[in-house]
Amino acid sequence: MIPIPKKGTPERARLIAEHKACIDSMKGVAGCTILRCATPGDTTEVSGGIHEDFLLNRVLLRMRAMNPADGKGKLVVICTKIEKEWRIGRLAGVRGVPPTFVGDKIYDNEQDPQHDIFVMRLDEMEEFDGYPEHFREGWKRRDDNWTRT
């Protein structure tokens, strides 16, 4: 069982601040890794983040494993103008159906929307996670819209 920090608690604020610090130190690095660079954008020396913050590591692992809440699709970063603009979108959960944009905010880098997605997903999580009822078997389930041939 993993306790998810409630809104307004110092633990939640610390978790969000650590995630933001990691995201900010990774600007200029391709991809999204939740680690702190000794020099921003230089990954030769990394520390903090998921290596040193056990709760942040556990919460991120659960986020990556869980299905989105309320039947909504997963949140993703969508590049709207190559290397210039990014937005947050939500997948439909059905193959072939395009994602829909979440809000009107436009980002000038690909890391900032990752942090906003983290906060949105944290808001969607229940107070406790990791019980048997949260488990869902495999990624090729019968109800995930795979075509039958």
- Rounded (5°) CA angle 23-26-32: 70
pLDDT in tens, the chain (149 residues): 677 888 889 999 999 999 999 999 888 887 778 888 888 888 888 888 888 888 888 888 888 877 665 567 888 999 999 989 999 999 887 788 899 999 899 999 888 999 999 999 888 887 776 666 656 665 555 555 555 54
Output the six-digit token pair for 51: 């290596």
Which residues, at least 6 apart from 14, have a Cβ–Cβ distance to it below 8 Å? none
Give φ, ψ of 84 to 5 degrees.
Answer: -130, -40
